[in-house]
Amino acid sequence: MRLSDLDYELPPELIAQEPLPGRDQARMLVLQRRAGALEHSRFYKLGRYLREGDLLVLNDTRVFPARLAARKQSGGRVELLLVRPVADPPGGWLALIRGHRPAGAGSSLMLEAGGRLIVVDCPRPGRVIVTADSGQAIEQLIAEAGRLALPHYIKREVSGRDSAEYQTVYAAHQGAVAAPTAGLHFTPELLDSLRTQGCAVACLTLHIGPGTFVPLRTQEVEQHGMEAEFYSISPQAAESLAHARRIGGRVIAVGTSSVRALESYAITGDLEGHTGLFIYPGFRFKLVEGMITNFHMPRSTVLAMVMAFAGREPLLEAYREAIRRRYRLLSYGDAMLIV
C-alpha cells in the first residue's frame, strides 16, 4: 500500500480548535459497513445504533501534562515531551526533544519553571533519556511545571478549560501524552443510559504515546515500524469480552487505542504488555466488530487502522461526505460510528 493511499484533502478551517460546550452534542457520522450506507446523527443518540448485549470497550488512560520548556547552557530554548519512565537509569524518563540544535549526552537543561534535567543518553535523533538534577523526582517536576500537550494542529495556547475537556470522564490511570479522543464525547449520563438499555461497558488501559501520533514517512505503508505502547486488560474485562461473544453481542471499541489493545490481546493472549501492533488495510480483525472514532489526519497510523476496518473507498467517501457537510475534524471534532 502506498503512502499516498492514505491521503485526502483536509480543509484547515474544519480542524476543530475548541471543544464543544456539551461533549455528547457532537455530530456523528454512522457508517454501516455491510450496506455501505451513511447516516447523519448526534452522539447523544448513540444508543439507537447499539443492541442489548453489545459491549463498549473504553480506554481509561489519563493524560498527564507532558510538555516542559527548558534552556540549554548556551541559552538555546528546547521543548521536551516526556513519554514514559525507563528502567535504566532509575528515575529516568524517555522524552522527545525539539530545539534549534540537538542536546547531547551530558547536557544540562534548565527548566523555565525551575529545576534542572540532565541528558544521560540520546538513543536516536529527537529522543533523549533525562534524569532530574534538582533533588526532585521528574514526576514532581511534571506536576509543578508540566503543560498539556495539545496536538500541533490546534493553533492556540493551552487554556484551563483544556485540562478538563482534553480528558475523558472515565480517565483513571495516568500515563498518556495524548487523549483517546473518541472517548471525549461520552458523559456519565450517556454511559448510564447505555447500561440501562442493556449495553455492557468495560475498560482497558493503553497509554498513548509516540507510537500513535508519529506520522508515517515510508512510501510503502507496510514498512512503517510502530513504537510500542503499554496496555493492560483486567481479567474482569477479559471475561466481559468472552461473555459478549457467548451471547452474540458485538465488541464496540471506543477509539483506535482500544482497538490496538484488543487486537493485540486477541493475537497474543497477553492481558498486559507493550504492543507494537500496526494495523493497516489487509489486517484481519479478531475481536472488534464496531468502532467509535474521530476523523483523523491524512497519512497517519490511526487513519490506516480505520481504513483497515471500514475499507478504503467506503471510508474516504465517508470523509468526503463529512467535509461536504462541514463536520468538525480531528481531536476536538465530531465522531464516527462504524458497525
The C-alpha cell that represents 137 in the structure block: 523526582
Q: Give the integer Cα–Cα distance in Å for 228 and 234.
A: 19
Question: Which amino acid is located at 144 in the chain?
Answer: E
Domain ranges of the chain: 3-63+160-338, 67-145
How far apart, in Å, are the Cα atoms of 208 and each of 114, 145, 157, 258, 279?
27, 21, 22, 10, 15
The C-alpha cell that represents 334 in the structure block: 465530531
How much is the pLDDT for 184?
A: 98
Taking the domain 67-145, which CATH number applies?
2.40.10
- The neighbour count for residue 157, using CB atoms within 10 Å, is 8
Q: Give the integer Cα–Cα distance in Å for 86 and 6.
A: 33
Looking at the domain 3-63+160-338, which fold is it? QueA-like (3.40.1780)
How much is the pLDDT for 217?
A: 87
- Give pLDDT tens digits along the chain (339 positions): 999 999 999 999 999 999 999 999 999 999 999 998 999 999 999 999 999 999 999 999 999 999 999 999 888 999 999 999 999 999 999 999 998 787 888 899 999 888 899 999 999 889 999 999 877 899 999 998 999 999 999 999 999 899 999 999 999 999 999 999 999 999 999 999 999 999 999 999 999 998 898 889 899 999 999 999 999 999 999 999 999 999 999 999 999 999 999 999 999 999 999 999 999 999 999 999 999 999 999 999 999 999 999 999 999 999 999 999 999 999 999 999 999
How much is the pLDDT for 112?
A: 86
Task: Determine contact, residues 78/71, Cβ cutoff 8 Å.
Answer: yes
Query: What is the value of pTM for the model shown?
Result: 0.95
